[in-house]
Structure formats: C-alpha cells, structure tokens
Chain A
Amino acid sequence: MSEYVLQARNLSKTVAVADQQLCILHELSLSLKPGDSLAIVGRSGSGKSTLLGLLAGLDLPSSGEVLIAGQSLAPLDEDQRAALRAREVGFVFQSFQLLDSLTALENVMLPLELKHRKDARQRARDLLQQVGLEQRTGHYPRQMSGGEQQRVAIARAFAAEPHILFADEPTGNLDSQTGERITDLLFELNRAHHTTLVLVTHDERLAQRCARQIRLEAGHLTEQS
C-alpha cells in the first residue's frame, strides 16, 4: 500500500478546438498523504476544474496517470472507476447537485445505498444531525435555502466515509456569512473523519485554511506552497 492516497504523474489534458489542439493542463504532478488538505487556486479558465475532474476520476487525462489509494485509474473502464469512486471518493459541488426528486435524507443516503450499506438511513440521519439539519430530513431541495442545500451536500459527501473529498468552489454560490459557516463545517468534518481534502476555489481565505496550495495559470503549475 502506497503512503500516498492520491497521486498525479505528469498529467496533461489536451482538447481539440476547431482544427487546433488546446492544452488545458501541462505535465502536472502532485502527491497527497492521508489527512492532507490541498487548495487549487487560479483564474477562471486556468484548468482548476479540469484538474479536479482528472484527480477524481471523472475524466481521463490525455497523458500521465492518476492513482487513488495506490490504484491507477488508467486501466479501469468507466464502471470500474465508478466503483472506485464509490469506495474512496466524496464530492461537494458549487451548485450543490442534490437530486430534486429525493428528500434531504434520501440525498444523504444515496452514496451509502450505492455501497449497499444496510445502516444507510440511520447513518444519514446522524450526518444530517451533525450538519444541524435534523429537522429538515423530509424536505426536498427546492424547499431549502442555498446554505442548507450545501450542508446536505456536505453530509452526503462524508456519508460513505471517503478517503478523499473533492470540493469544487463549495462556497461559490453562497453569501460570505453562510460561506464562512459552510467552510467551518467542512474543515471540522474533515478533521473528524481524517479525510484528505482537495478543493478548488477562488477564495484566498478559504485556500489559506488548507495545508497546501497550488496555483494554476494556463494549465501550468506556477506556485506551490
């Protein structure tokens, strides 16, 4: 077993635009140990989300390799990658991405049910309690505020006890006060669950709270701290 929970080796991503090849990410490498927290910062279009997608196995690189828990993603097909994500990875998205047809409780149960966990309902209740939404379990996303929806999304992200949590602009759609509270919650749970956190953000203050930061500019890693 590798000491790294997440590794990227010489990751490049090129896409064809009209008759040209556009390089979005260029030869990028990084490694994270369990419990690490990494902020990816950069301007719009610098390749942050692309990198996050590649690291989480949502997309495949043009060249290079990603390893999650020592397992290379390259030889896996989409279903095998999905199984790996179900086991190892959690997500928090900028636009919450809750399913409108499910209640708050059912949304949190979702990743647990994908892992066929018998205690899905109870565990989802506990998590909703941890994020302060024990009174809203039966509510649908459209009946909740943005901040509440993001708290449900955070509860869902931690539900399946992932080793790595990917967060894409988790406070991007929230006002600063609510954003602050969501950030506190995120880091609190991260510590409690000893999860590796990778987050993409514009927000320098949020980035500062991570142990490491990298800055992307036109697909190149320009700064690492």
Chain B
Amino acid sequence: MMQQWWFLARMAWRQSLREARSPELYTLFFAMLVAVASSSTIAHFAERLHLAMELRASEFLAADLVVSGSIASSPELIEQGRQLGLSTAHTVEFASMLASDNGMQLATLKAVDDAYPLRGSLGSSATVQGEISKGGRPAPGEAWLDAQLFDLLQIRPGDMLEVGAARLRASRVLTDEPDRAGGFAAFTPRAMINLQDLPATAAIQPGSRVQYRQLWRGDSQALQSYRDTLQEHLQPQQKLESLADGNPTLNQALERARQYLGLASLAAILLASVSIALSAGNFAGKRYDHAALLRCFGLSRRDTLLLFLQQLLLVGLVASVLGIILGWLAQHLLFATLADLLPADIPPAGGSAALTALLTGLASLLGFGLPPLMGLGQVPPLRVLRRNLQPMPVAGWLVYLLALITLGLLMWRLSLDPQLTTTLLAGGVLAALVLGLLVYSGFKTLAGQLVERRLVWRLGLGHLLQKPLLAVGQSLAFALILFAMALIALLRGELLSNWQAQLPEQAANHFAFNILPDERDAVSDWLHRSSPSVAHFYPMTPGRLTHINDQPVLERLEPDSRALSTVQRDLNLTWSQDLPDANYLADGLWWSDDDADGETIDISMEQELAERLQVVPGDRVSFNIGGQIIHSRVHNLRTVDWGSMQPNFFVIFAPHNLPALPHTFITSFYLPAEQAGELRSFSQQFPAVSLLRIDAILNQLRDIMAQVTLAIEFILLFVLAAGISVLLAGVQSTLSSRIHQGALLRALGGERRLLQAINRHEFMTQGAASGVLAWLACELTSYLLYQRVFDLPWHFHPWLAILPIIGALLVLAAGHLGTRSVYDSSPMRLLRGS
C-alpha cells in the first residue's frame, strides 16, 4: 500500500517536471500563488495591524496589563512578573490637598516611578496653553499640574507649592496622561509627582483611600502566564485591568476594524478559490486522454485519481511556499511604504500568519480543485478508442457541498463571527441560485433572438451559448469578482464614512461634569455661546448595584466574572424620559407616561452589562444611592454607541416614581482648539465644574480608522490581482476552442479585425451580464449586512450601475490579454489536426 503510494508520488513528481511548461499547470500554479500570496500578505498585514492597533489602544492603559487596588502588589508577586521577562512600573493615586500662597485645592495626586508609563507617553508644556511636548515624567522635587490647578491655585509654572507635608516645584503643565482617558473615575483636578517624594508628603495615612497600580508590559505569552498566576494570588481588594475590559469605545472600534479586514480578506480568498476551481477544471479536462491511457495500461481508478491528486498537491505546495515568501515580502514593502502613517514599533507577526496562508491555500485547492479532478478517476479506458467518451460527471451536490464546506471553513477562520459567516454564506448561496437561474434564462432567451443577428453576434454569443451552463458558471465567477470589489468599495467608502459620520468633525472633545443643579442654566448659556455643539445635560449620581432579584449581586456572580469590576465600584446613574441619542433599544420598549403606575421604578440597562449580570427585562435590581436603597425593575435593554462621545450610561432610570436624589449634571461639548483659552474664564466663573479633555481618545479613534481605510485599500489591490487571475483562468478554459475557431475563420478568409470583433462582442456581453449580477448580489448582501450585522439603515446604491460597464471593460481587457494567441493562430493547425 505504502509502496504503491510512494510509486505514485514519484510518478507524479516526474509528470510535473515533464509538464512544467504546460499552460494549464502554469495557470493553476499562478492561481495558487495569487491565493496564497494574497492571503499570506493579508494575514501578515492584518495581524501586524491588529498588533499595532492594540499597541495604540494599550497606551490608554499605559501598559498591557494592570493590577490595581487599595493595596499594593506584594514584592513576591512583582518578582514573579519580572522573572517572566515582563517590565513593570508602579503608581500610587490618592486625593490630597494642594496649597499655594494664593489658595488651596483638593486634587487627585498620582505618584509615579521612573518606569512609568510603559505604553504611550505623558504630554506636558512649559506654560499653560504652551507647546505640548511628549515624554518624560516629574523628577524628584517636581510636580506637574493640570492647567485647571494652576488656575485654581493661582500660580504659574516654576512656582512652589505644598503637597501635603512636602514642598515641591510646580514645574510643568500636565496635558496628557495616557491612563486617564479610560473612564470617569478621576473627575477632579490632577497633579503628578515622583514616587520618591511620596513619603515626604506624608499624605498617605492609615485609612486613606489610595489606589495602587502595578503596570506590566511584555509579550503576550508571558503576559498570559502572569495573568494566570495573578488570578490565583489576587486579593479581594485588587483587580486586573487589560485592554479587553478597558475602554469600551476603543474595543468597539477595534472590533469593527477587525470585521472590515476579515470581510475584505474573505473576498480576496474567494476569488482566488474560483480561479483555482477554473484552473483545476482546465487541468483535468486536458488530462482525460492521459488518464484513459493509464487506465488502459492497468492503473486502477483510485490510483489514477491519486496520481493526479498528488500532482495537484505538489504544484499547490510549491506555489504555496513561494506565495508565503512573496506575501511576507509584500507586507514588508507595504509597511515600509506606510511608515509615516503607522506607529514606528510594530511588532512582527508570528509564524501563524504563514501557517494560516498555507492552510487557506491548501483548503482552497482541495475544496475547489478536487471536484473537477474527480472526473479523472472516472475516465473510461475505452476513451483510447472513442475519444468522445467523457467521464461520468461528479455528482453536482457533492461538488457544491465540498465547495460550500470549504467556503464556510475559510469564512469561519477569517471572521470568527458566526453571524457574519452565516449571513455571507446564506447570501452567497441564495444569490448564486437566483442569479444563476436568471442568467441562464437570460442566455436562453438571447439564443432565441440570435438567428437574425449579425455574424459577429452569432459567433461571439454562439460561443457563449454553446455550453450555457458553463457560460452561467463563468458569468457567476466574473460576477463574483465585481461583487467582491464593489462590496469592498462599499465597505471602504460607505460603511467607513457611516462610521466616521458618528464622529463628525465637531465631535465633542470636552466633558463638563460636577455641574450643580442651580448652575445648570448658567453653564448651559456659557457653553452654547462658545461651542457650536453641546450635548444634552444629564443628571448624574453615583450608585452601587447591590441586589438582583433580592440576591446579593456578589453571590450571584462567578469569581472570575467580567461584571465584577462593574459592580465593585460606583456606577454613574442617570434618569431620562426619552431614549438618549446613540442609544438603541435591544429588548423591550422605551417607557411612556402610561408606565407610571405610582409604584414601580423602571430602569433601562446596557445590553452587554445585562448579559454579564445575567439580567433580563422584568428582573428586580436594587441600588444603593448615597445610602438610599432603590428597588427597580428592568424595563428594557439597550445597546450604546460608546464611540458617540456623549455622556453614556450603563443604567438609566425612568423619572416617574423615582424619589428625589442628590445629583449633579454632566454634558459634553466641542470647543475648537483656538478657543481653548476661553476655558480659563469658564473655570473662573464655575470653579466647581470639572472639565475633561478627550481629544486624545478622539485622535486615537481617527488614527485607527485611517489605518483600517488604508488596509482595505491595500486589500483591494489583491482582490484585483486575484480577480484578474480568475479572468485569465476563465479565458484559458475556452482558449483551445477559440484558437480552433480563429484558425478556421482565418482559413475561410476572415480578417484579424473580425476575430477581434467576435471576441469583443462575447467578452463585453459576458462582462456586462456579470456586472448586472454583481450589482444585484451587492445590493442583496449589503442589505443583509446593514440590517443584520452593522445595524445601519440601508438604501439603494445607484452608483453600482457602473458595474456592468466596469464588468464589460474588465472582461474585455482580460479576454484580450488571454486570447492574443487566437489572432496569431496559424490556419495550418486545421491541416495538422492540432
């Protein structure tokens, strides 16, 4: 058995060497090369881009992983992290009174060591509103204060101030602090000092509320293993923070970016697979005689099939290795080209990208290349005498099932999103069936009309209609190229602009909070005078979620539940009669006056939090708000667009039946950079109101979008390359009959111009038909994607009407390229019987 297998392998090897220059093997080789090179580049690129984006995002934590809590990490635990090769930094945060000669102010003080920050950098300036420089940290004896504090304490950079018992120089203005933008925990004015000065301040006394943060940075494997260690040793007063449970705004952006990239890669790989299927079909078709001869000489059906299969795999492997190298080079080139736009220290992708590409290529080869090859095992040996004997066709359902399974696997591997995968698969099958039927009946009708048409039409379309099923298949394949390109254009253009539209130029870049109710109108007047865009004013009160259905919430949750961090701290709660902007109902209805039964207090909960807490509408949830216990009922669940840059809340109360609660107001607004100076007068007028700048996170989001856009444009190039390889393989499959027709027409006196006109008519008709199909499929898919996946309103895309024209031109160009030999074919072929 093994011996026979080895014999066949050697035979396949020799056969491949002999046939190295045969055109169909050549096409198959190139189809595989394009498939693997594009998926390798995309895998490398996507992985590195993802790493780059995570790197960017981790700057918001100033680390990859943070242990925070009211007690410091133990020296043993820190040592364990160091031994794993991780680097670490330590910060201590607490509230302290700052005093200058002119005043006193309570501020949040952060003491940092010389390793801080591990990711990202601090921003500071020498003067208030001065030029911001990146990097550095307060040296011993120095304090960096935010602009608000300089104002409140009425001092200038360089002045001395008292921090607890220590006297430090307020040397610089603190403008950016990477790990501050994550939430609203620190809404008071901020100052930063060196950790060495901390004992001198004597600000930390037993019973002080202090937050110790141990920051960690390193490679993901070491981080994961340290995370496992931490899980075992973490004290109840400590918690882990990492990117995954960090900033919902960024997480959402990263997830969308990943989905877009996955979709675009899928399109490229789909096309390459079609190209493989076509070339494998050509390969098999040319080998029926060969297979018949081998069968005649006594090779079994199984061995015949195995021989050609091994040959196919051999070609596939060689092409895959070359493709991986090419892909690796291409992504290096790409990163070099985009050096100005991407972060400088992008980590290299691991070997998994190459492996992914190899597996993707081989899966496509087997899934799409095997069905046409199956016929070679079925060739009857009698074909050596009667050449018109064709092998029994492989059962259609088997072919489609195999292709469908491969397609599903590839989609799953790429997108890892079952909903997206199912949507695309279902859309694809439905579209192929409906559109295939449509084009089949279209061609049939055309055939009826052809009788009276001109010669070029009859010959051009006659060629197409001779095998209507093949013509339908090819049209669908060409349509797939156009569809993929249009879909990517749609994603790149429309979805991204839709997404970016949620972050308009005048997206809020400041939050104002701690607005006292009696200051609300005055603050609102001031903001509306200075800012072109001010969000709604939401009442806000801190409260802790204590019970769900009368069960203490901590008992209800698993020790490792991601909801723990949410329930262990105060939530910012609000109340509103109306559903706020950028909030969408997911389950249940919004409340109305009819719901005011005089007793029940209704709440609306953010859907993801509800899932983590295992809460459904109708459940009872209790809160402790300033010592007051509020029992409420979940009225509905909502999704929140965290990227909207407006005040967003996990829990919203219905105003009816809610007792009076102590509260302040929060809002967000946009202030152009040149008006930043006006905030000074704002702070003077409303000293109690806190301001938070969020430009940093906005810029970060815009950077991510720019990178995703670039990546998608780049992938479009690969889709185009894969598409052209499909076209060439498609044209090649009909080349021999074209050459024959060309030679005959030449012999009968047809001029080169006539041959060109015939091909032009055929290619343009087929291209245009494919364009129409692609248009329909694109509308159908975009409808499904918009409605089911991206939650965006769908509308008709008239610009897609350009697809039939692009299709006609594209197929014409590729057809012309692939059929040049037809025009030069010597009519002598007819006499030589070749």
Name A's B-contacting residues (CB within 8 A): 49, 52-53, 56, 58-59, 78-79, 82-87, 89, 91, 93-95, 97, 99-102, 106, 110-111, 113-115, 160, 168
Going nearest first, the 7 A-B pairs with the smallest beta carbon separation are A86-B749, A101-B462, A101-B466, A85-B749, A58-B827, A49-B831, A113-B455
* B741–A79 touching, CB < 8 Å: no
Please pick, from B744, B745, B749, B833, the residue contacting A83 in the complex, using a CB distance under 8 A: B749
Bound CA–CA A101/B830 (angstroms): 17
Name B's A-contacting residues (CB within 8 A): 455, 458-459, 462-463, 465-466, 737, 740-741, 744-754, 826-828, 830-833
* A83–B459 touching, CB < 8 Å: no
Q: Whole-angstrom distance from the CB of A40 to the nearest CB of chain B?
A: 12
Bound CA–CA A199/B487 (angstroms): 60
**What are 19 A-to-B residue pairs whose CB atoms are below 8 Å?**
A53-B827, A53-B828, A58-B828, A82-B752, A86-B748, A87-B749, A91-B747, A93-B830, A93-B831, A94-B833, A97-B740, A99-B462, A99-B741, A100-B466, A100-B737, A101-B462, A106-B458, A113-B455, A114-B748
Bound CA–CA A116/B705 (angstroms): 61
Knowing A97-B830, A113-B455, say if A58 contacts B744 (CB, 8 Å).
no
The binding surface of chain B is classed by DSSP as helix
Interface centre among B463, B744, B749 (most CB of A within 10 A): B749
Interface centre among B458, B740, B741, B831 (most CB of A within 10 A): B831
Bound CA–CA A97/B740 (angstroms): 9
Q: Whole-angstrom distance from the CB of A143 to the nearest CB of chain B?
A: 13
* B831–A58 touching, CB < 8 Å: yes
Could you say which residues of chain A place their CB within 8 Å of the CB of B462? Answer: 99, 101-102, 106
Could you say which residues of chain B place their CB within 8 Å of the CB of A114? Answer: 455, 745, 748-750, 754
Bound CA–CA A53/B830 (angstroms): 9
By beta carbon, the residue of chain A nearest B460 is A101
Q: Whole-angstrom distance from the CB of B13 to the nearest CB of chain A?
A: 26
By beta carbon, the residue of chain A nearest B746 is A82
* A49–B832 touching, CB < 8 Å: yes
* B455–A101 touching, CB < 8 Å: no
Q: Whole-angstrom distance from the CB of B276 to the nearest CB of chain A?
A: 27
Could you say which residues of chain B place their CB within 8 Å of the CB of A79? Answer: 751-753
Could you say which residues of chain B place their CB within 8 Å of the CB of A115? Answer: 749
* A78–B752 touching, CB < 8 Å: yes
Bound CA–CA A99/B831 (angstroms): 16
Q: Whole-angstrom distance from the CB of B814 to the nearest CB of chain A?
A: 21
Knowing A101-B463, A102-B462, say if A168 contacts B831 (CB, 8 Å).
yes
Could you say which residues of chain A place their CB within 8 Å of the CB of B828? Answer: 53, 58-59
* A101–B746 touching, CB < 8 Å: no
Could you say which residues of chain A place their CB within 8 Å of the CB of B753? Answer: 79
Bound CA–CA A124/B817 (angstroms): 35
Bound CA–CA A62/B833 (angstroms): 22
Bound CA–CA A139/B669 (angstroms): 78
Please pick, from A49, A86, A93, the residue contacting B750 in the complex, using a CB distance under 8 A: A86
Knowing A53-B828, A59-B828, say if A95 contacts B752 (CB, 8 Å).
no
11 additional contacts (CB under 8 A) given A82-B746, A115-B749? A56-B747, A58-B746, A59-B828, A94-B833, A97-B740, A97-B830, A99-B459, A106-B458, A111-B749, A114-B750, A168-B831
Could you say which residues of chain A place their CB within 8 Å of the CB of B466? Answer: 100-101
Bound CA–CA A106/B462 (angstroms): 11
* A53–B751 touching, CB < 8 Å: no
By beta carbon, the residue of chain B nearest A159 is B748
Please pick, from B465, B750, B833, the residue contacting A82 in the complex, using a CB distance under 8 A: B750
Q: Whole-angstrom distance from the CB of B597 to the nearest CB of chain A?
A: 78
Could you say which residues of chain B place their CB within 8 Å of the CB of A52? Answer: 831
* B748–A91 touching, CB < 8 Å: yes
Interface centre among A53, A83, A160 (most CB of B within 10 A): A53
Please pick, from A87, A91, A102, the residue contacting B459 in the complex, using a CB distance under 8 A: A102
By beta carbon, the residue of chain B nearest A59 is B828
Knowing A58-B828, A79-B752, say if A99 contacts B747 (CB, 8 Å).
no
Interface centre among A99, A114, A160 (most CB of B within 10 A): A99
